[in-house]
Structure 1
């Protein structure tokens, strides 16, 4: 049965899509069967994986899946043999109102993907930077949450908002939801601020797992723009090594290694 992980932060621009995409490739390279789900109406993950082919999935995407207009089997797109995608689409925002007014709206995603969970080792969900019905559905469907954050004052505030939302989800729809860890992202040593914030974070939240730090790297943006993973774009670079280490950490936590 798949381990379901939401990559989430209510603050935008912290690297959720980059993390989801490259961790997905990392897990697939490690021999795991991976399903990526894009529940962000901006569909950056979908575009990064299949480019303009996103336009083909107007009637088979995460929105039509959650409104029960398409089946999960018909919605899954093969990116590579070990890596599959449930795409987002331009029409996802329009589906939001329909989902909000639907019966059992918080559980639409978990019920929709249940038939295929035995087929995968990992499901990674890329989320929008807002507390709405899509994020609530993702957290309700998930075993774990990964929170990418920039080491800035506002980045830490976004993390606290996520903690508050997770507590609410545990009380209302998913009592087993667990924080897998924080992933400090876009880390640079050019100034002392990121390291200072990281130290402050460890001091303020001593019991919160802090996973591999992902460096700020132009290669990550270029790789995503080219529709490839960092492992294909710059396999020997710092970012690829960091994602390889993060992949091993995730597997160790999820599988108890």
Structure 2
């Protein structure tokens, strides 16, 4: 049965898509079968993986899946043998109102994914920077939440919003939802500020696991610009090693290898 992980933070620009993409590749390199699900109307993950082919999925995307207009078998796109994608689409935002007005709207994604749970080791969901129906669906369908965080003052303080939402989800739709951990992203040791913020983060949220950091890297930015994972762009670089370390920690937590 696949482990479902939401990569989520209501704040934008923290690296949710970057982490979803590269963590997915890292897990697939470990031999895990991975399904990436893009529920962000901005469809950055989809574009990074299939480029302009996104326009060909107007009737086969996560939105049509959640409104039962397409089957999951027709919606899944194979990226490579171990890595598959359920794409987003530029029309996804228009589906939000339709989903809001449906019965059992919080469980639309969970019900859509359920038939393929046994086929994957990991299902990673890339979420929009908002607290709307897509994020609620994602958290309701998930076993774990992984929170990317850029170590700014407002980023650290704003974590409480995510914790409040998770508490609500546990009370209302998914009592088994767990925090996998926080991933400090774009981390640098060249200035003292990120290290100070990391210390503040640990003091403010002592119960929250801090996962391996992802370094601030020109290579990651260039890889994104070329629509590639860091493993395709610079397989032996510092950033690739950081994502491999993160993937090993995700597996350790998810598979109970304490």
TM-score by length of 1: 0.99
What displacement does 1:154 show? 1.1
Q: Aligned pair 1:25/2:25, yes or no?
A: yes
Q: Indicate the residue corresponding to 1:129 in structure 2.
A: 129
Structure 2 Cα separation of the partners of residues 174 and 53 of structure 1: 35
Q: Indicate the residue corresponding to 1:5 in structure 2.
A: 5
Structure 2 Cα separation of the partners of residues 120 and 225 of structure 1: 29
| Equivalent runs, 1:75-224 vs 2, <5 Å | 75-224=75-224
Structure 2 Cα separation of the partners of residues 92 and 167 of structure 1: 27
Write out per-residue CA displacement over residues 43-93 of structure 1, whole angstroms, 9 at most, x where no aligned residue: 000000000000000000000000000011110000001000000001100
Q: Aligned pair 1:39/2:47, yes or no?
A: no
What displacement does 1:206 show? 1.7
Q: Tell me the SS of whatever aligns to 1:47.
A: helix
TM-score by length of 2: 0.98
Runs of 4+ in structure 1 deviating by more than 3 angstroms, as ranges, are: none
What are structure 2's unaligned runs of at least 5 residues?
Answer: none
Structure 2 Cα separation of the partners of residues 28 and 159 of structure 1: 29
What displacement does 1:190 show? 2.3
RMSD: 0.7
Structure 1 Cα separation of the partners of residues 174 and 40 of structure 2: 21
What are structure 1's unaligned runs of at least 5 residues?
Answer: none
Query: How many residues align structurally?
Result: 257
What displacement does 1:25 show? 0.2
What displacement does 1:157 show? 2.6
